[in-house]
Structure 1
Amino acid sequence: MGNRLEGKVAIVTGGGSGIGEAICKKFAKEGAKVVVAGLPEDPVEDVVKEIQETGGVAIPFSGDLSSLANAQSCVELAVKQYGKLDILINNAGTFPETNMLSDFTEEAFDYLLKNNNKTVFAMSKAALPELQKTKGNIVTAGSESGILGIAQNVPYGASKGFNHAFTKGLAAEQAQKGVRCNVVAPGPIDTGWTHKETGPMDSQMEKMVTQATILGRRGTPEEVANVYLFLASDEASYVSGAVYPVDGGTLIAKGPAGELAADSMKKQPKEELDLEHSKESHTSVRK
């Protein structure tokens, strides 16, 4: 166990799988008390049990966090259980469909905005009164596609661009209240989203997103969680309003750069976290 978040209380939305699971386990390992929040169908209770079995402290919250009432209940649970709230991680999101815009369904678009944007709005609004008390911080999930845009999923990139601008505005607004706000912008990460068997990508897109990185591979959930840890910790005390790419160099790649990467760059690092749900995909359109 580390101590970089010793004494801190954190809510992590979308904490049941993928990057969210890694953030929850990394934060707990570093001493935080974690509220693992997700939709009712997400394995949040499994993640809580796994954290507790390794000596960490965590509780679950299940609910649709795009509802302000549910968001407030989640914050109230954290404060009731642990006495305060220091960190909000707006990780929840969805990647429901890949299609040309002319074929992109309205149902998928509405679901995208609900989960990628309204949840960020509701959770941030609900958490701010408590974060102002603790001089805490918010870290929100963006994407390299929120900077570059993304073909065959134009609305997804736009939803992440919203999160970038939302966070920058919130950082400027909340500095006077002592609250920092930042964005982590992943590229292709080794979760259910980026495999054709478990997500909406076809084989061509699956290959394309990997070769668009200069490292020639997907990132791991733990590699992303490491950046969340830094931004959420006191080590990032002079960082606010920033968008941190964790994209394997996607933003500077030119052409199929991954083909040229050294074999050592393409090899994923050995992970320390026991991630049981990294390949689970919760991306289907739900009403």
Structure 2
Amino acid sequence: MGNRLKGKVAIVTGGGAGIGEAISKKFAKEGAMVVVAGFPEDPVEEVAKEIEEEGGTAIPFTADLSLLANAESCVQLAVKQYGKLDILINNAGTFPEVNLLSDFSEEAFDYLLKNNIRTAFAMSKAALPELQKTKGNIVCAGSESGALGIAQNAPYGGTKGFMHAFAKGLAAEQAQKGVRCNIVAPGPIDTGWTHKDTGPMDKQMEQMVTQGTLMGRRGTPEEVANVYLFLASDEASYVTGAIFPVDGGTLIAKGPAGDQAAQSMKVQPDGQLKLKHSKESHTSIRK
């Protein structure tokens, strides 16, 4: 166990699978008391139990966090259980459909707005009064697509562009209250979203996402969680309103750059976390 977040209380939305699981377990490993939050269908209870079995401290919270009343209940649980709230991780999101805009369903668009935007709005609104007391911070899930856009999923990139501007706006207005806010912008990560068998991508798109990185591979959830850890910790005390890409060089890649990467770059690092739910996410598909 580390101590970079010792004594801190954190809520991680979408905390039961994919990148969220890695964040929850990384934070607990570094001493945080974690509220693992997500839909009832997500394995949040399992992740909280696994954290406890590894010597960490965590409790689950299951609800639709796009509803302000549920978001407020989540924050109240953290304060009731642990006495305060220091960190909010707005990680929850969805990747429901891959389609040209002319064929993109209105149902999928509404689902994106609900899970990628409204959840972050509701959770931030509910958490800010407590974060102002502790001089805490928020870290939001952006995306390289929020800067570049993404073909065959323009609405998804649009929601992430909103998240980038939303977090910067929070940073600007909340500095006077002592609250920092930053953005982590992943590229293709090794979760259910980027595999054709577990997400909406087809075989061609699955290949393109790795070819479009300088490193020629997907990132791991733990590699993303490492950056969340830094931004949420006191080590980032002079960082606010910043976007941190964790994309293997996607933003500066030209063409199929991944094909030219050194073999050593294409090998995922061995992680320290025991991640069991990397490919699970009920928010990756519409209900």
The AA in structure 2 aligned to 1:103 is D
Equivalent position of 1:129 in the other structure:
129
Counterpart mapping for 1:106-121 below 5 A: 106-121=106-121
Aligned to 1:2: 2
Q: Hey, what's the Cα distance between the residues in 2 that align with 1:271 and 1:203?
A: 27
Could you tell me the TM-score, scaled by structure 2's length? 0.99
Question: How far, CA to CA, are the matches of 2:190 and 2:212 in structure 1?
Answer: 14
Paired residue for 1:230?
230
Deviation at 1:153, TM superposition (A): 0.2
Quote how far apart the aligned CAs of 1:284 are. 1.4
Aligned residue identity for 2:33: K
Q: Distance in 1 between matches of 2:57 and 2:31?
A: 8
Of 274-283 and 216-225, more deviation after overlay is shown by 274-283
Judge conservation of contact 1:88–1:127 (CA < 8 Å) in 2.
Answer: yes
Q: Which runs of 5+ in 1 are unaligned?
A: none
AA aligned to 2:179 is V
Aligned to 2:179: 179
Q: Tell me which amino acid in the other structure corresponds to 2:279.
A: K
Q: 2:212: which partner in 1?
A: 212
The Cα offsets for residues 8-34 of structure 1, whole Å up to 9 and x where unpaired, read as 000000001000000000000000000
C-alpha contact (below 8 Å) 1:10/1:34 kept by paired residues? yes
Decide whether the 8 Å contact of 1:141 with 1:185 is kept in 2.
yes
5 Å matches for 1:1-287? 1-282=1-282, 283-286=284-287
**How far apart in 1 are the matches of 2:88 and 2:136?**
8
Shift of 1:281: 3.2
Q: Which amino acid aligns with 2:20?
A: G
Q: Secondary structure at the match of 1:265?
A: coil
TM-score, normalised on structure 1? 0.99
Question: 3-state DSSP class of the match of 1:92?
Answer: coil
Find the aligned partners of 2:197 and 2:286 in 1 and give their Cα distance.
17
Q: Which amino acid aligns with 1:38?
A: G
CA-CA distance at 1:279 after TM superposition:
1.1
The C-alpha deviation readout for 1:166-193, integer Å capped at 9, x for no partner, is: 0001100000000000000000000000
Secondary structure of 2:275 counterpart: coil
- CA RMSD, Structure 1 to Structure 2 (Å): 0.4
Shift of 1:233: 0.1
Alpha-carbon distance in 2 for matches of 1:284, 1:217: 24
CA distance in 1, matches of 2:189, 2:286: 21
The 2-side partners of 1:125 and 1:281 are apart by 25
Q: Report if aligned partners of 2:42, 2:281 keep a CA contact under 8 Å in 1.
A: no
Partners of 1:137 and 1:87 in 2: CA distance: 5
- Cα distance, 1:119 vs. partner? 0.2
Q: Distance between the aligned counterparts of 2:245 and 2:8, measured in 1?
A: 25
Structure 2 counterpart of 1:177, which letter? K
Shift of 1:205: 0.3
Q: Which runs of 5+ in 2 are unaligned?
A: none
Q: How many residues align?
A: 286
Q: Deviations over 1:16-62 (max 9, x none)?
A: 10000000000000000000000010010000010000000000000
Aligned mates of 1:263, 1:232 — CA distance in 2: 32
Name the SS for the 1:244 alignment partner.
Answer: strand
Extract structure 1 runs of 4+ deviating beyond 2 A: none
Distance 2:126 2:198 in 1: 33
- Checking the alignment, whether the CA contact within 8 Å between 1:199 and 1:281 is kept in structure 2 is no
Once the two structures are aligned, what percentage of the paired residues are identical? 82
